[in-house]
Amino acid sequence: MSLISPAASAALAQWLDGQKTLHGAAANTIEAYHRDVADFIAFMAAHSGAPQGLAALSRITVSDMRAWMARTRSDDVGARSLARKLSAVKSFYRWLATREGFEPTAVLSTRAPKFQRKLPRPLAEDAARAMIDRVELQAPQDWVAARDMAVVTVLYGCGLRISEALSLTGADQPLPPVLRITGKGGKQRIVPVIPAARNAVSRYARLCPHPLDADQPLFRGLRGGALNPRAIQKVMEQARLQLGLPASATPHAMRHSFATHLLNAGGDLRAIQELLGHASLSTTQAYTAVDTARLMQVYEASHPRAAGRTGGAA
């Protein structure tokens, strides 16, 4: 980092601040952006043998970009991770080029490596229910068992991310019929809460030995602090081994399962998109593991011209 000029460091800090305040990027995202872009600038400094100030950054060439990508891949960085790093660098350069008035084509024209996207693996309905039941049996303390069951029930019953579930506070208890959830990028959505989730959280709240103040986390760790997501990951690992489920049976898989099971029960893809908080319908399509036949059913049932061909109103 010593080869990065104060001006470049200040520019990076200003860009990161904008990502946080203007675009609502999460703390983990900001940390990843900082690491990826700082590593990129440090490489360019070593590559050129000179400190990387703003002027030097504006003169980066296609050859420089190829050298960075080759070096990154040689460090055993996979194609998916390299694509993420390149995305962060490009985002920083778009902002920097606009601020400093230079042409960023060499950076922005660099193509990310191709990689096969891993489709999510939802649990079968009976496996999801078995996971919820088995999670409760892992902890010796009744309140911890109730807590773990409540968290997993909320993940599956409401389709929340683990970070969203653990962001609930004492003010959300008892859970209302609908929750307003703030997801990625600060985007808000309304999520219905099924009775099973409300009941599981209420039972946990009755047993929890720590005061659930309105401004404090709803789900608590053993010592009363905020519950670490690793605790839920670990208890689900134990449960999946006992149930013979694959390693993909993670907290996030409960969210995948929520979406897939809704779709299989006749749920509308657009409505599920809203419940998940996805910006793109294509994301929801992959998320629900929906096949082409199911998509055609949705299309035939909802598209006006398709409905007209099958006898519906035009």
**pLDDT (tens digit, 9 = 90+) per residue, 205-253?**
999 999 999 999 999 999 999 999 999 999 999 999 999 998 889 999 8
Q: What is the C-alpha to C-alpha distance for residues 277 and 190, in angstroms, rounded to an integer?
A: 9
pLDDT confidence band for 308 (50 / 70 / 90) = very low
- Residue extents of the structural domains in the chain: 6-108, 125-300
pLDDT of residue 266: 76
pLDDT in tens, 110-165: 988 776 566 568 888 899 999 999 999 999 999 999 999 999 999 998 989 999 99
Which residues are annotated as catalytic?
Answer: 161, 184, 252, 255, 278, 287
Q: What is the CATH number of domain 125-300?
A: 1.10.443.10
Contact (CB, 8 A) for 289 and 256: yes
Q: Which residue has tokens 């104060």?
A: 6
pLDDT of residue 151: 97
Is the pTM higher than 0.85? The answer reads no
Pick the CATH number of 6-108 from 1.10.150.120, 3.30.413.10, 3.90.650.10, 1.10.150.130: 1.10.150.130
Q: What is the C-alpha to C-alpha distance for residues 82 and 43, in angstroms, rounded to an integer?
A: 14
Q: What is the C-alpha to C-alpha distance for residues 47 and 60, in angstroms, rounded to an integer?
A: 11
pLDDT of residue 307: 46
pLDDT of residue 301: 64
